[in-house]
Structure 1
């Protein structure tokens, strides 16, 4: 086993491309069968792409929104950044409202607003550099947290992941999938299970495809098979990402994460959350205060465009759930590892 490896071998996918005059987003709705980029030339097109799940994953959403601000600036005349920030309030609000639960979206917009407000006549160049920095820093953070998270996993382990937390959800390498990539490369992980992740099947469509690109052979399971899988002893860790981590360690993530944490605790399986520090929201005390986005109930009625439910039935379609910190064994960010997270540990790591 080695703690060093070739990052580039396990980091081949880029879901977000800035061309200099447009933002190109890998259309994740069409994967794994069609690899196609959607070209966005306005901030409203970026907002629509975020809402429609063309681009998804909390870090990737934040990066796309930052570039959306750069595109919005194309139509604004301003003498300095403060004036520009005032005139860009409406398109920035539309970007924010596209996916309100993911804290990275608000974080990236606040960061863009802050540097813009402090800039002079060169404010356009300033915000473009900042958008690029947000993407570059995310990639570096993912590689760092991948190494930190992998170090917690014993050799020859099996892991289970949920949703998609890889290069497709970030600037590259991934958060939870970055941990898995690093662990696989080091020989710490020899079996990777991916839950299908209904109703959009991000695990089946995206995670499995991503791992295949890196020569990792994943094992796909139905979401409802997870508890039985843990009972067999095939899994030693559940490794997931996060859309928001609260001041006490409570974590919002894709719907279905909470029940995995419950099952993991019952079966003695460790539970890891891997996410960049930008996902930590110390202003939100606990998961009780998190707004849980609900999407169109119609998403529940079909698979691949083929209706599977009877007509005239209702559905409930929350996109996220909240895992209490008491069920989390480790939170991993690029800044370090917090084991058995609680409010005291979070404040020690991230301040007030």
Structure 2
């Protein structure tokens, strides 16, 4: 991704390996500071996933792959490491896919660093192809809406939902993006808007509750990412996605989901079977450690919701764009 600093523009990934350590951008510090952190123990990698130092399904997958790499390099029990890393968060399928991918490779004798780097590179290649397929959906003058962050930060580099926008903008198309704030952790405001600004893409942040308001005024296309897509096409994504899909259906706005094949979980039949992560109520009741809710009022904080396949126009993958009825082709 492009990062503009006082010294100019440089390219950086969300997570990478360097001199025996896993490096990553601490996404909790954005957009005001670009802070990189390093880890040399797989247990700390699991905690970085848990506390959202890194986030976004594909980036979580790559981070998990590097965690397995550290486990192999340190000679610890790989099955235990796999279990510990998988326990970090319950919803994103890429986490489990990456750990199983690495575990099989390491047990077969793969070089840990080469395997983990290869996994991260594979994600970037897939996202690049998602951008190529999805950019055809974006036309000059369009108003596009997205939710949460499914950009380079969430996917090592390039993005899923943001990949078509990056590609279309690079190809000279000019359009406008509504980025919803994404309460309670504000990934849309703090991360997506930051990424769009780095790329120079025309955009504005909107409150989550204003989505239908702007759809009525005129939104041409909605693209989100996904954390898990089930065998029937239901998908989990950041809380608030379901609301957008319902409103999009009402207004006749095409709703697309951008995700690599690793996000598809064909062992889970429907969205009802997805485990939804419940996070601390403090993410709702506090802002930067300051209590804003009335004393004694509890809060509920589901991190994701599930959108049924019937509300989705298509899934943008590295293999092409598939309607929900054709999801079996993704598995093939």
Cα distance in 1 between the residues matched to 2:90 and 2:119: 19
Kept after mapping to 2: 8 A contact 1:11/1:173: no
What per-residue deviation string (whole Å, max 9, x for no partner) do you get for residues 209-244 of structure 1?
1111111232000000000000001x1111100001
Secondary structure, in 3 states, of the residue corresponding to 2:175?
Answer: strand
RMSD: 1.9
Distance 1:245 1:48 in 2: 25
Partner of 2:49: 50
1:99 corresponding residue in structure 2: 89
**Is 2:150 the counterpart of 1:165?**
yes
Distance 1:57 1:217, change over 3 A: same
Checking the alignment, whether the CA contact within 8 Å between 1:142 and 1:175 is kept in structure 2 is yes
Residue number in structure 2 paired with 1:82:
none
Q: Who is 2:31 aligned against?
A: 32
> 1:12 & 1:223 partners in 2: Cα distance?
30
TM-score under structure 1 length normalisation: 0.89
**Equivalences for residues 1-352 of structure 1 within 5 A:** 12-76=11-75, 87-119=77-109, 123=110, 126-233=111-218, 235-339=219-323, 341-342=324-325, 345-351=326-332
In structure 1, C-alpha distance between the alignment counterparts of 2:131 and 2:217, rounded to whole Å: 27
What's the CA shift for 1:254? 0.5
Indicate if the aligned counterparts of 2:71 and 2:81 stay in contact, CA closer than 8 A: yes
5+ residue gaps, structure 1: 1-6, 78-86
CA contact (8 A) 1:13 1:167 kept: no
Measure the CA separation in 2 of the matches of 1:269 and 1:305.
38
- Tell me: CA distance 1:36–1:11, structure 2 relative to 1, closer, same or farther (3 Å): closer
Aligned-partner SS, 1:74: helix
* CA 11–276 in structure 1, closer or farther in 2 if over 3 Å, else same: farther
Please say if residues 159 and 189 of structure 1, whose CA atoms lie closer than 8 Å, have aligned partners that are also in contact: no
Aligned to 2:89, what secondary structure does the other structure show? coil
1:309-336 alpha-carbon deviations (Å, 9 max, x no partner) = 1112111110011110000001010011
- 1:272–1:93 distance in 2 versus 1, CA, 3 Å: same
2:248–2:255 Cα contact (<8 Å) kept: yes
Deviation at residue 153 of structure 1 after TM alignment? 2.8
Q: Distance in 1 between matches of 2:66 and 2:200?
A: 31
Matched-pair contact (CA < 8 Å) for 2:138–2:165: no
TM-score by length of 2: 0.94
Instruction: After TM superposition, give the deviation of residue 17 of structure 1 in Å.
Output: 2.3
Task: State the shift of 1:306 in Å.
Answer: 2.6
